[in-house]
Copies of this chain bind each other. A is one copy, B any other.
Amino acid sequence: MNTFGKMFRVTVWGESHGKALGAVVDGCPSNLPLTEEDIQKELDRRRPGYSIFSTPRKEPDEVELLSGTFEGKTTGAPISALVYNKNQKSKDYNKIKDTPRPGHADYTYGVKYGNYDYRGGGRSSGRTTIGHVIGGAIAKKLLDYSHNIKIIGYTVKIGKIEGDFNYYSKQEIFHSDINDIIEKIENNPLRCPSSNVDEMKDYVLNAMENKDSVGGIVELVALNVPAGVGNPIFGKLNSELAGALMGVNAVKGVEIGRGFESAELYGSEMNDEYYYNSENNIQLKTNNCGGILGGISCGAPIVIRVAIKPTPSISKIQHTVNVKTGKNQELIIGGRHDPIIVPRAIPVLESMVAITLSDLMIRSGFIHPCRL
């Protein structure tokens, strides 16, 4: 099942060490200005070699846009784009064939498919999110162009180090100019706008020295989503976002608004009261719901948090089985890996939010399904 969405549909394909990876975006309305640069910009944000915290695999990840646009604008036809692999080092992975790596999908792919491409994790590699980002780049353009919707992701926690910047601590920022904060996020190897980010960096460096890896929490905010997006009962905005985000590699938890904290609150604390603002528009006094009520957006910012586990590839000795010998054995993973996937996951998570919103905004009648 490599297609996401019902009306705005993204089909992704490709393996870590195959010839190429790509996506076909179907259901994007015509007349959206779109160039290779729009997609390249987002691919560059997830590219390996982004910082000291990412795998040293050198991949230019240059996108080729093959169909679906004419004279610089979309035509309503499917948009096909791909990236050729350039820097595969498949030998590194020969040993995976028989000794499934703990925390990876080697074992489950082997059980499920029998024949699978184990090189670099094959289809289960983080590299397959190139397709997500191609789809996400187009979705972001569509949302921004048609509704000025902005999707912003940033790190709020690394390992045990909690940052001091998050939506509920800095809510006012999201109602003023957000460009400053976006710049801060993008010029930071952890994509973390908190003031205690150096503490986080040290935490990761320390883990790297110990041949270990760390996880973290990402917060995602979508601004300017109009009230009315989302289709109860089984097409709720929160439901589709949770499904989309939980499906990204390494994600182990998703919460909307106050999330798990809401279980601790009283109804009188959690409920967001309504009032008429000075322009006579109905607004929420607080946004504990995270912008969604009854599965439908209420006009407040959409607020999501996502837990990302530590990268399973570590250089420490681990125990596993050898399916060829039928015996237990030790394993030391070679190859090139990220000690932390959190910052590179952010454009992927933003992409899934953008794709989900694009799909639901078409399905909710905010974006015309065929033409802008």
Contact = CB atoms under 8 A, between A and B. Distances in A.
Interface string A321-350: 101001110000000000000000000000
Interface residues of A, number: 150
B319 A274 contact: yes
A279 to B, nearest CB: 12
Contacts of A244: 239, 243
Interface string A87-122: 000000000000010111101110111111100001
A211 to B, nearest CB: 8
Q: How many copies does the complex hold?
A: 4
A172 interface: no
B321 A275 contact: yes
A276 to B, nearest CB: 6
A70 B40 CA distance: 28
Given A239-B246, A294-B104, A296-B108, A263 B113 contact: no
Contacts of A20: 66-67, 80
What secondary structure prevails in chain A residues at the interface with B? mixed
Contacts of A290: 252
A243 B4 CA distance: 13
Interface of A: 1-4, 6-7, 9, 11-15, 18-22, 24, 26-27, 30-31, 64-68, 70-71, 73-80, 82, 100, 102-105, 107-109, 111-117, 122-124, 128, 131, 157, 159-160, 207, 210, 212-217, 227-228, 230-236, 238-247, 249, 251-276, 280, 282, 285, 289-290, 293-298, 307-314, 316, 318-321, 323, 326-328, 363-365, 368-371
20 contacts: A1-B232, A12-B78, A13-B26, A14-B66, A24-B24, A70-B117, A104-B293, A108-B228, A114-B371, A123-B232, A215-B263, A233-B247, A239-B246, A240-B243, A243-B244, A252-B257, A255-B307, A265-B309, A269-B310, A276-B327
